[in-house]
Amino acid sequence: MLQLLLSHLYFKKAMALEGKLETLLDLKSSPEKFLTLWKKQAYEVPNLTPTNIQGVHVLEGDWVTSGSIKVWNYTIDGKAEVFQEKIELDEEKNIVTLIGLEGDVFKIYKVYTVIWELTTKDQGSLAKLTLEYEKLNENVPVPDNYMDFWISVTKDIDEGISK
C-alpha cells in the first residue's frame, strides 16, 4: 500500500519558469544494482523498458565513464522523441543524474535534468526521483507527463534488475 501511495504521489515545486517534480519510489533492487546498471549496462535499459525506451547509443565517451554522452530514442504520449544526455554518477552518495543536453524536450524546456537518489532499506531501496526543469516560457506546461514517464521507466528497470 505504501509503495502504491509513494509511487503515484509526487510533489511539485514551481518558481516562475523553473521547477522541480519529486516522488519517492519503493524499489526491490539495491542502490548498488541500480547504479551498476547506469554505470556499466545502460545499453540494457531499452530491453528492460521497451514500451518507453526503444534504443540508446553512445555519442561521446563509452558505456562506463561518468560524463559520457548518450542519445536515447523513446516514446512519450504516443510520440517518438530523442534525448541526448550526459550521465553523472556519485557512487558514494548513490546518485544517478541525467543532464539533458539536446533533443525534443528542449523545444519547450531550457533545462531538463533527471536525478535518482537511492537509500538502502532492509530489502531493496528507496529512490527519490527528481525532475528539474526550466520552461522556455509561461505557456509551457509543467512536465507531469515526463515525470510519469520516468516513474514508469524506474519501475520497469527495478522489476528487470531485481529478478
Structural domain includes residue 7 = no
CATH code, 51: 3.30.530.20
pTM confidence score: 0.89
**Ordered DSSP codes for 140-155:** SPP-HHHHHHHHHHHH
Structural domain includes residue 85 = yes
Please report the pLDDT score of residue 64 as a whole number: 87
Q: How far is CA 129 from the centre of its chain?
A: 7
For all residues of the chain together, what is the average pLDDT? 91
Please report the pLDDT score of residue 111 as a whole number: 97
Structural domain includes residue 48 = yes
Please report the pLDDT score of residue 65 as a whole number: 85
Structural domain includes residue 11 = no
Structural domain includes residue 134 = yes
Structural domain includes residue 9 = no
- Nearest-CA neighbor of 51 among 162, 142, 159, 163? 159
Domain count for the chain, please give it. Answer: 1
Structural domain includes residue 104 = yes
Instruction: Identify the H or E element spanning 40.
Output: helix 31-40
- Nearest-CA neighbor of 104 among 59, 67, 73, 132? 73
Range of the domain at 97: 19-161
Low-confidence stretches of the chain (pLDDT beneath 50):
1-15
- Assigned C-alpha cell, 6: 509513494
Please report the pLDDT score of residue 2 as a whole number: 42
